[in-house]
Amino acid sequence: MTALYSVNIRVMGGRPNIALLGMPTVFDPIRALKVSPFLVSNILFAILVVLVISVLIWLIRTEYGQALLATGANPKMITSLGVNTHFTVVTGVGISNALVALSGALIAQNQGTADVGMGVGTIVAGLASIVVGETLFNSRRITTIIISVVLGSVIYRLAIAAALSFRFFQPSDLKLLTAGLVVCALVVPRIRQSIREKGGTRGQRG
């Protein structure tokens, strides 16, 4: 990450930020349809999310996709089946970085500017989205897991926006709210499990 900071500065022509106003973007075809400006980005993001989810679900259901999952779950077992785990790890990292690059490009074009520090805190937000999604949509099916991550990111953003709408919180409290949301999402499943275990114990005693 430290090295990429310098690489990003190089890519941006030695400047920490670049204005993209007036330049062609992927949002232009939708704007040409005379859609409301508030819906342009939402429509494009929704289309791309559905497309990316569909491709990921298709990939995971293939034999190679199963090898990717097995590499993360049990690398020793998948190695014994003759799969090159080094290659599958690089493939997984490559896919994730490609999605990160796509997301960054879309955000920069949507905001009309690219800043070298605009990705700070994104990892925490991504973690919060995953935790919230897995907590609310607890499932072992890979299709449900992928969809739950997307829904978790939407719920996370809505929760942050709702919290900031109160006068008690300020925009500077964003990281505090994120941390609190992650803690709650991690604690709630354990509380549920503890209640179920206590209920089961009482049932056995009865």
- pLDDT digits 0-9 by tens, 101-129: 888 888 888 888 888 878 777 777 788 78
Half-sphere exposure of 167 (CA within 13 A, CB side): 0
pLDDT bin (cut points 50, 70, 90) of residue 37 is confident
Predicted TM-score (pTM) of this structure: 0.75
pLDDT given for residue 54 in this prediction: 92
pLDDT at position 203 over 60: no
For residue 18, the model assigns a pLDDT of: 85
What's the confidence (pLDDT) of residue 52?
92
Q: What is the pLDDT of residue 205?
A: 57
Domain boundaries, the chain: 1-117, 121-206
Q: Which of 25-39, 55-69, 80-94 is predicted with the least confidence, judged by mean pLDDT?
A: 25-39
Q: Give dist(CA 41, CA 26) in Å, integer.
A: 10
**Mean pLDDT, the chain, whole residue set:** 82
Number of CB atoms found within 10 A of residue 83's CB? 19
Tell me which DSSP letter residue 173 carries.
G
Residue 141 near residue 56, CB atoms below 8 Å: no
